[in-house]
Amino acid sequence: MKRQVFNPFLPLDEYIPDVEAHVFGDRVYLYGSHDAEGGKRFCELDYVVYSAPINDLSEWTCHGVAYKKSQDPRSKPGRPVDLYAPDCVRGNDGRYYLYYTAMGPNVKNFGPMSVAVSDRPEGPFSYLGDVCFPDGMPMTTFLTGDPAVLNDNGRIWLYYGWGLGLDLRNKLLAPLYNYVMSKIFDRPVKEIRNTYPHILGANVVELEDDMRTVKSGPKRILDARTTADKKSELYHHAFHEAASIRKIGDTYYFIWFSGKDGELCYATSKYPDRDFVYRGVIISNCDMGYRGNKRRLAADGTNHGSIECINGQWYVFYHRLTHNTNFSRQVCAEPITILPDGSIPQVEMTSCGLNGKPLIARGVYPAIICCNLFNKHTHTIGRWKRRQPHITHDGNDRFITDISHGTTIGFKYFEFDDINKISVRVRRAKGTMLVSTEIGGTALARINLSNTSEWATFSAPIRIEKGVHALYFTYKGKGRMDFLEFEVG
């Protein structure tokens, strides 16, 4: 690794969520949605593809626009569709196939899944067609969101689905539920009522070699909450959206977002189309559940990701939320361990995910590489409109805003060796910044802050024991502060 890399690991003005990471040859490629910075809805921009050498995950290259919204035939002049979470696979013919669902203007929600094709993994891709049954009818059974695709020794498996995260089994309210779902999904009530076992859930089809004709299925592989056994662990971590699939040895790993606490869950099976068993949580984008943690250490919201083995090390790719909305999401990654029994212990969010080691505790770092950002009011984004500390931007500045009394900003991890000063660059602050190496730990420095309308730097002496430590800043003061960067040295 030639230089340090931190989370988020792409340029700080880039917003690529829903990432599927795939190694093709000697590079790893990222396929994801494309949010706008400070956007007002999901997936506003064209697809772009990033890649890096498998032996240097600090050197990410943007290959430019890989597929334009206007290339989908449902786009109209001035009213393009939005391209939701994609996945890419190498076909048996050696070409690369990009699967997606178009949403937004001109399209019924959860219409056909579509596929584009390229001779190169980075694209550009050309529209090929919709996933169809042998008679040519578009395959729209169940809800066709978030396609995930696997080439399993020549057999092509396409996974997809959606779930509300609600238990809709109340028979008295069933007619109302069905009516509401018909409006949300643009499906007739009769279709919703008659779909077995339920329109909500995770599903799979096998495709022909043409990569778009259904060979078998659709088949239900995992329940949404409305059909899961109430006594099972799956009921509490049921499938909501964000399907992802990998095969490790002879075991299939199905990954999804449960809609709860920003968590990515997984189930395993010895078969690609049945018998998946819930195994646990890989990561939460608020660190809920990590080592028993029951507190949101960041504002959680949507999550969608994947796992991939890169140069011998497995990683989980996930996204974090910015701008206090679900519409500006950035990809992050953490190393994971797959144990001999096939389980994946939950990992925590860090600021140094792909770095391979802690960051060097010397020099200037952007505040927005924080992995923890919380106060006593931190909540799930989209549930309430209440203000809370969040990452935002203003021109070329990217910073944390709405930092109120009691807010903690955490960075994990650094390798410390003989530092004696710590500085913060802030504005609109009136109070003190306490610095520690543990949440709620002893203050090792107290930085006095003055109220300025422009960015200003404030410093204090500090001594931190040599070794690997987290770094936490806690604001004690009045008003709502902005935090641009900090320096250790």
CB of 125 within 8 A of CB of 48? no
Amino acid at the residue 420: N
Domain carrying residue 443: 360-488
pLDDT in tens, 36-48: 999 999 999 999 9
- My answer on whether 284 and 386 are in the same domain is no
pLDDT of residue 386: 76
pLDDT of residue 387: 87
pLDDT in tens, 16-32: 999 999 999 999 999 99
In the structure, what pLDDT confidence band is assigned to residue 131 with cuts at 50, 70 and 90? very high
Per the domain annotation, does 243 fall within a domain?
A: yes
Q: Is the peptide bond before 124 cis (omega within 30 degrees of 0)?
A: yes
CB of 180 within 8 A of CB of 199? no
In the structure, what pLDDT confidence band is assigned to residue 104 with cuts at 50, 70 and 90? confident
pLDDT of residue 258: 97
CB of 354 within 8 A of CB of 315? yes
C-alpha dihedral (108, 197, 136, 44), degrees to nearest 10: 30
Rounded Cα gap, residues 366 and 351, in angstroms: 11
- My answer on whether 261 and 327 are in the same domain is yes
Whether residue 200 has pLDDT greater than 70? yes
pLDDT of residue 396: 95
In the structure, what pLDDT confidence band is assigned to residue 265 with cuts at 50, 70 and 90? very high
pLDDT of residue 456: 98
- My answer on whether 124 and 225 are in the same domain is yes
**pLDDT (mean) for 59-69:** 98
- Choosing from 35, 241, 261, 485, the catalytic residue is 241
- My answer on whether 288 and 378 are in the same domain is no
Rounded Cα gap, residues 436 and 423, in angstroms: 13
φ, ψ of residue 264 to 5 degrees: the values are -100, 120
Per the domain annotation, does 349 fall within a domain?
A: no
Whether residue 227 has pLDDT greater than 80? yes
pLDDT of residue 70: 96
| pTM strictly above 0.95 | yes
CB of 177 within 8 A of CB of 222? no
Whether residue 1 has pLDDT greater than 60? no
CATH code of the domain containing 398: 2.60.120.260
Low-confidence winner among 162-166, 231-235, 344-348 (lowest mean pLDDT): 162-166
Rounded Cα gap, residues 310 and 312, in angstroms: 5
Strands 408-416 and 359-360: what pairing?
parallel
**pLDDT (mean) for 7-23:** 98
**pLDDT (mean) for 328-346:** 98
CB of 339 within 8 A of CB of 402? no
CB of 321 within 8 A of CB of 285? yes
**pLDDT (mean) for 174-184:** 93
CB of 179 within 8 A of CB of 152? no
pLDDT in tens, 390-430: 999 999 999 999 999 999 999 999 999 989 999 999 999 99
CA distances for 418 relative to 213, 410, 415, 422, 441, angstroms: 63, 21, 10, 12, 20
| Percent share of the chain, pLDDT over 70 | 99
- My answer on whether 264 and 161 are in the same domain is yes
- My answer on whether 326 and 389 are in the same domain is no
Per the domain annotation, does 385 fall within a domain?
A: yes
**pLDDT (mean) for 173-191:** 93
Burial of residue 420, with CB atoms counted within 10 A of its CB: 0-12 exposed, 13-18 middle, 19 or more buried: exposed
pLDDT of residue 313: 98
CATH code of the domain containing 240: 2.115.10.20
Both tokens of 34, joined, read 């494309």
18 a catalytic residue: yes
pLDDT of residue 385: 67
Per the domain annotation, does 256 fall within a domain?
A: yes
Whether residue 384 has pLDDT greater than 70? no
Please name every residue paired with 139 in a beta bridge, in sequence order, or none if there are none: none
The structural domain count of the chain equals 2
CA angle 95, 100, 104 (to 5 degrees): 150
CB of 239 within 8 A of CB of 201? yes
Per the domain annotation, does 69 fall within a domain?
A: yes
DSSP 182: H
pLDDT in tens, 430-476: 999 999 999 999 999 999 999 999 999 999 999 999 999 999 999 99
- My answer on whether 421 and 316 are in the same domain is no
Per the domain annotation, does 6 fall within a domain?
A: no
φ, ψ of residue 442 to 5 degrees: the values are -60, 135
Per the domain annotation, does 8 fall within a domain?
A: no
Low-confidence winner among 25-34, 168-177, 254-263, 455-464 (lowest mean pLDDT): 168-177
Question: What is the enclosing helix (H) or strand (E) of 176?
Answer: helix 174-185
- My answer on whether 307 and 365 are in the same domain is no
Q: What's the chain's average pLDDT?
A: 96
**pLDDT (mean) for 371-387:** 86
- My answer on whether 308 and 370 are in the same domain is no
In the structure, what pLDDT confidence band is assigned to residue 383 with cuts at 50, 70 and 90? low
pLDDT in tens, 430-439: 999 999 999 9
In the structure, what pLDDT confidence band is assigned to residue 299 with cuts at 50, 70 and 90? very high
Whether residue 333 has pLDDT greater than 90? yes
Per the domain annotation, does 340 fall within a domain?
A: no
Burial of residue 334, with CB atoms counted within 10 A of its CB: 0-12 exposed, 13-18 middle, 19 or more buried: buried
**pLDDT (mean) for 331-355:** 98
pLDDT of residue 106: 75
